[in-house]
């Protein structure tokens, strides 16, 4: 059996595909492509397939050198049958990605949720490597979490445990992509922050961030960081607001679940220390005193590669549960 697997992280804005050494967690090669939900399922599938071929070529390997393929998608997953049931961020429903990729590459394909695979990556080779009880929370286009108890992921009764982005933080508040209103994701995700900044600029608020904007392009984390480094009032205000809401969500997790550690990941957490540290400080204040004193926070260590490393190890993890 080859020590190399293909890991695919399919998110709301990109598909990241990598060849990963399962013994070391090393990313041998990778290919990143943007995803747009208005392009349709067929183009999305072709983009995934093309990215696999490119990653294999870049690694100077052939498909025979690969043991299996793992993929994580941002949405609800039928793990047993490898079907993406519902992924609103890429407008994908009932897509049997397992069957499609197995037919194309003649390799076993394992499918999970995007935060699930990122949590596996951090559990094997990242911030959770020496811990058996922790919660991984990733702040990106949305907000999701993976729960690890006694070294095993907890999926819940219907396989949807960890949807922290959809806990209510404001009754009847902002509409969320899930169809409800007042969800944490609508207040503290990168997309929510981007919308708040864009809305404020349209209303005439002044901000240094306009110097970095690109026409018809979304606001990037790097732009937010540059404006923050220049002590931009608007960006500081909106980040503080998002941190307050996110901290409330973290405090709820601490009070209810009482984990040993919380790992925070995603582009904002990785790139902007101020946002990470401010969120943690408020979360501890909002939590009950005893668990607040006990809880340990860490940044995700694998960065953008948490997902692809975890996806490549998805087969290993699931097979370990059978032993």
Average per-residue pLDDT for the chain: 92
**pLDDT of 31 over the 60 cut:** yes
Q: What is the dihedral of CA 212, 217, 222, 226, to 10 degrees?
A: 20
Expressed as residue numbers, the domain containing 315 is: 4-121+305-320
- Same structural domain, 288 and 310: no
Residues 91 and 190 both lie in one domain: no
Residues 63, 180: one domain? no
Number of domains in the chain: 2
pTM value surpassing 0.85: yes
Residues 136 and 89 in one domain: no
142 and 98 in a single domain? The answer is no
> Over 60: is that where the pLDDT of 107 sits?
yes
Question: Residues 161, 154: contact at Cβ < 8 Å?
Answer: yes
In this structure, the answer to whether residues 64 and 138 fall within a common structural domain is no
What's the whole-number mean pLDDT along residues 243-249? 97
Cβ–Cβ under 8 Å, residues 5 and 20 = yes
Same domain, residue pair 38 and 56? yes
Q: Is the pLDDT of residue 36 over 90?
A: no
pLDDT at 39 over 80: no
Task: Tell me: do 225 and 316 sit in the same domain.
Answer: no
Specify whether 114 is located in the same domain as 164. Answer: no
Q: Can you tell me the distance from the alpha carbon of 277 to that of 258, in angstroms, rounded to the nearest whole number?
A: 20
pLDDT of 293-321, one tens digit each? 999 999 999 988 999 999 999 999 998 88
Query: Are 115 and 197 within one domain?
Result: no
The pLDDT confidence band at residue 247, using thresholds 50, 70 and 90, is very high
Mark whether 109 and 236 lie in a shared domain: no
CATH number at residue 207: 3.30.420.40
Of residues 240 and 36, the one with the higher pLDDT is 240
Residue 184 · residue 169 · CB < 8 Å = yes
Q: Clarify whether residues 187 and 274 are in a common domain.
A: yes
């Amino acid at each position: 059996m080859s020590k190399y697997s293909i890991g695919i992280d399919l998110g709301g804005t990109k598909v990241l595909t990598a060849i990963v050494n399962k013994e070391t967690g090393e990313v041998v090669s990778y290919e990143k492509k943007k995803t747009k939900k208005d392009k349709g399922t067929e183009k999305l599938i072709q983009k995934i397939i093309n990215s696999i071929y490119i990653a294999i070529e870049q690694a100077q390997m052939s498909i025979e050198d690969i043991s299996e393929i793992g993929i994580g998608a941002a949405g609800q997953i039928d793990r047993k049958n490898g079907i993406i049931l519902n992924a609103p961020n890429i407008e994908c429903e009932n897509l049997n990605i397992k069957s499609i990729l197995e037919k194309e590459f003649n390799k076993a394909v394992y499918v999970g949720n995007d935060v699930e695979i990122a949590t596996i990556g951090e559990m094997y080779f990242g911030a959770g490597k020496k811990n058996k009880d922790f919660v991984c929370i990733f702040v990106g286009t949305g907000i999701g979490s993976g729960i690890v108890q006694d070294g095993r992921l907890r999926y819940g009764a219907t396989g949807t445990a960890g949807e922290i982005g959809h806990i209510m933080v404001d009754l009847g508040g902002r509409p969320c992509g899930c169809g409800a209103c007042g969800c944490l994701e609508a207040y503290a995700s990168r997309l929510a922050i981007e919308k708040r900044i864009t809305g404020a600029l349209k209303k005439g608020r002044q901000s240094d961030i306009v110097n970095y904007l690109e026409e018809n392009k979304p606001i990037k984390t790097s732009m937010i960081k540059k404006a923050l480094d220049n002590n931009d009032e608007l960006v500081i205000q909106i980040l503080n607001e998002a941190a307050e809401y996110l901290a409330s969500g973290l405090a709820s997790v601490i009070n209810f679940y009482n984990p040993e550690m919380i790992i925070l990941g995603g582009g904002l957490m990785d790139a902007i220390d101020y946002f990470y540290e401010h969120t943690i400080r408020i979360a501890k204040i909002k939590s009950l005193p005893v668990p607040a004193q006990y809880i340990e926070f860490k940044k995700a260590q694998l960065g953008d590669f948490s997902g692809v490393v975890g996806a490549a190890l998805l087969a290993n993890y699931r097979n370990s549960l059978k032993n």
